Structure 1
């Protein structure tokens, strides 16, 4: 496997578990597990800890196809997925037993569950990794990725990302999220130390680790940076940090200005990016020098990538060697790998006269209120720009209302209502303004969990 070979060549690479302080070199991780090297499926439930990373690297260099999932997935969802795909091995430290499986000691510290009955079935030779786009629902739908897909995307990212050979990189984005996976692979190829951690920026321990290990970089989605802004992160220097990365949605103008000022004052670089699981993570990036000038642009295609915009629908279409081999909804689908010439992103976009691309909304994030089409992403950005860069969540409810949820205690409903009426011309009867007292529900990849919030609103609040 080319990706593993590129990682293995980085002989200085070390992995450190932030919870235990245990460190292992890439040489110590190499073939450290005793597993049957056959062509089948292995499920790895990820918690970003060192044993998980060791398990992943061992299975990646084997003949297995790997389904990488979140360990916090509901047990019923796990059982449903396992029934549909009958994996040969399962790695899941959160469970002590799994029906139909027996525990086996793959090493002194790592226990795998091995299927009792034969689970060998045809798997296309190109399929190496299966990733879910659903995050929390346990959908059996997987994105089929090849080693070549992952290698090509890693190489294209490394063309613009300023990774250095002495960098210390935290896995603060879960690696079962494709963005976290691409952070992991690119830095494994070139950086010095990977800090395996499940701590997030809401925890004091995360910031203690930043100082202890001297993190060179951080990555996150818009909500992550909105939270950093709210705690004053951008008002002071963090000496070890050289650059920050972002993907997963648009940043509001106030946040862009704060990050630009922070970057200029303290000599940092900020890379706004755009990607999807179906393209291994990253399809475009905005050069740091263009952040203030181009604002909400996703920038330019990565090396060997190409964009076009459908003239009728304005849908952004991507072409490149990192485009996936189709979806799998059941184990029989794993015998196929369908080369995709183009990836239809589901995002609406425009391009300016300098070739910089802008996402103007999701095709599916559109609602109709009294016959008027409303782009929910644009509504969120409008509120963030008008009211100080806070977190807003806009949802269409029962085809009757625009629900606007906000988190800032200093804001009031009347002010939000005034902005919506003035900017969008919406009548108060079509609006539901709700203050969120509890933390915003997030998917495992750190994005706002729109489906969960929508379900709660429709069943509990607005019945």
Structure 2
């Protein structure tokens, strides 16, 4: 596998456990597990710890197809997936037994579950990695990715990211998300130290590690940067940090101003990026020098990629060698791999005169309320910009109300209502303003809109 070859060629690479400080070189990780080399499926429930990373790298260099999932997905979801795909091996440190499987020692420190009655079925040789699209619950739907997809994307990212051979990189984004995986792949190819951690980035233990290890970079979705602002992160310098990356949505204008001022003051770089699982990670990036000038832009396509905008719907279409080979919803789907020519992103976009692209909304986030088409993403950005970059979440409830959720208890609800009334001509009775203390997130760290919407609509039905 070429990706593993590129990683193993980095003789400088080490992996460190954040809690113990124990490290392993890439050479020590090579074929460190006793596993059968079959054309079959392995499920790896990842927690970003060193054993999970070691298991992932061992299976990646084998003939196995890897389904990479989060350790925290609920047991019912796990059981449904395992019934559907009958994996040969399972890595799951959260369970002591799995029906139909026996425990085997793959090494002195790593145990696997091995299927007792093995079901070998046809798998297309290009199907190397399966990433879930459904978060913690839902249908067992995977994106089929090839080794070539991942290599192409990693090399395109390395074309613009300033990764250095002495960089120390924390896995603060789960590698079972495509964003976290792209961070992992690119830095394994070129950086020095990967710090395996599952520590909460908003707890003091993580910030102790940041100083102790001297992290070179941090990555996160918009909510991550909103939270950094709320805890005063941008008021202080962390000398080892050289650059930041971002993915998973648009950052509001006010926060962009804060980040731009911070990076200019302390000599950092901030790379806004745009990507999807179906594109193996990244599709576009905004150069740091354009951050303030082209705020809210996703920039331009990555190396070997290109965009076009569909005339009738304004949907952004992507072309590139990192586009996936289709979806899988059952094990029979794994025998196929169809390299798509183009990817319908589901995002609406526009392009300015200089060739920079802007996401204007998500097709699924444009709803009809009160007889008018409303873009929920635009309303969120409006509120975030009006209230200094604070966190807001906007949803439609039962096609009857606009729900506006906010996290800062100091904000004035009446001013929120007045803002919506003035800017959007909405009547106060059609808006529900709700304060929340905790924001439910998906396994990728994004706001879990479906879960919040389901919870709120259920409450309305009960009332």
2:410 paired residue number = 410
Structure 1 match to 2:445: 446
Q: SS in structure 2 opposite 1:421?
A: helix
Superposed displacement of residue 294, structure 1? 0.1
1:462: how far off?
A: 5.7
The question of whether the paired residues in 2 share the 8 Å contact of 1:73 and 1:138 is answered with no
Residue number in structure 2 paired with 1:233? 233
1:20 maps to 20
Kept in 2, the 8 Å contact 1:325–1:337? The answer is yes
Partner of residue 264, structure 1: 264
CA offset digits 1:103-158 (Å, max 9, x no partner): 00000000000001122000001000000112111421000000000000000000
Q: Please show how residues 309-348 of structure 1 align to structure 2 within 5 Å.
A: 309-348=309-348
Report what 1:460 is aligned to.
459
Q: Which residue of 2 aligns with 1:388?
A: 388
Name 1:137's counterpart in structure 2: 137
Residue aligning to 2:165: 165
In structure 1, C-alpha distance between the alignment counterparts of 2:116 and 2:34, rounded to whole Å: 17
Partners of 2:330 and 2:358 in 1: how far apart? 35
1:101 paired with 2:101, answer: yes
3-state secondary structure, aligned to 2:414: helix
| 1:416-431 map, 5 Å | 416-431=416-431
Please identify runs of 4+ aligned residues in structure 1 that moved more than 2 A. Answer: none
What are the superposed Cα offsets for residues 32-72 of structure 1, whole Å, 9 maximum, x if unpaired? 00000000000000000000000000000000000000000
Per-residue CA distance 1:281-319 (angstroms, 9 max, x = gap): 100000000000000000000000000000000000000
Q: 1:65-98 CA distances to partner (integer Å, 9 max, x unpaired)?
A: 0000000000111000000000000000000000
Aligned length: 462
- Of stretches 197-206 and 96-105 in structure 1, the one that deviates more from structure 2 is 197-206
Q: Secondary structure at the match of 2:76?
A: helix
Partner of 1:338, secondary structure, is: coil
CA distance in structure 2 between the aligned counterparts of 1:391 and 1:460, rounded to whole angstroms: 22
SS of equivalent to 1:264: helix
d(CA) in 2 for partners of 1:140, 1:133: 8
Q: Determine if contact 2:77/2:138 at 8 Å carries over to the other structure.
A: yes
2:123 is aligned to 123
State the alpha-carbon separation in 2 of the partners of residues 412 and 41 from structure 1.
53
In 2, the alpha carbon distance for the partners of 1:442 and 1:462 equals 24
Given that residues 43 and 89 in structure 2 are in contact (C-alpha distance below 8 angstroms), is that contact kept between their aligned partners in structure 1?
yes
1:223 CA drift (Å): 0.3
Q: How does 1:144-159 map to 2 (within 5 A)?
A: 144-159=144-159
The C-alpha deviation readout for 1:424-455, integer Å capped at 9, x for no partner, is: 1111121111011x311111111001011001
Determine helix, strand or coil for the equivalent of 1:350. strand
1:222 and 1:152 map into 2 onto residues whose CA distance is: 26
1:371 paired residue number = 371
Unaligned runs of 5+ in 1: none
TM-score (norm 1): 0.99
Which residue in the other structure is 1:221 paired with? 221
When the two structures are superposed, what TM-score results if normalisation uses the length of structure 2? 0.99
CA distances 1:202-240 after superposition (whole Å, capped 9, x unpaired):
111000000000000000000000000111111111100
How far apart in 2 are the matches of 1:25 and 1:135? 32
Deviates more, 1:200-209 or 1:322-331: 200-209
The corresponding residue for 2:198 is 198
Counterparts of 1:191 and 1:349, CA distance in 2:
34
- SS of the aligned residue for 2:324 comes to coil
Cα distance in 2 for residues equivalent to 1:215 and 1:385: 30
Report the Cα distance in structure 2 between the residues aligned to 1:345 and 1:304, rounded to whole angstroms: 17
Q: Which residue of 1 aligns with 2:180?
A: 180
Q: Give the match's secondary structure for 2:292.
A: helix
C-alpha contact (below 8 Å) 1:102/1:114 kept by paired residues: yes
Q: 1:78, 1:138 within 8 Å by CA — same for their partners in 2?
A: no
Computed over aligned residues only, the root mean square deviation of the Cα atoms, in angstroms, reads 0.7
Give the distance between the partners of 1:47 and 1:287, measured in 2 at CA. Answer: 31
Q: Secondary structure at the match of 1:212?
A: helix
Does the 8 Å CA contact 2:41/2:67 hold for their aligned counterparts?
yes
Alignment of 1:266-285 (within 5 A): 266-285=266-285
- Any residues of structure 2 matched to 1:6-17 within 5 Å, and which? 6-17=6-17
How far apart in 2 are the matches of 1:448 and 1:101? 35
Matching residue of 1:286: 286
Contact 2:400/2:430 (<8 A) preserved:
yes
Alignment check: 8 A CA contact 2:16 2:24 kept: yes
Using the alignment, how far apart are the partners of 1:215 and 1:458 within structure 2?
Answer: 42
1:298 alignment counterpart: 298
2: distance between equivalents of 1:138 and 1:174?
19
Change in CA separation of 1:138 and 1:59 when aligned onto 2, cut-off 3 Å: farther
Kept in 1, the 8 Å contact 2:153–2:322? The answer is yes
Contact (CA 8 Å) 2:134, 2:140: kept in 1 or not?
no
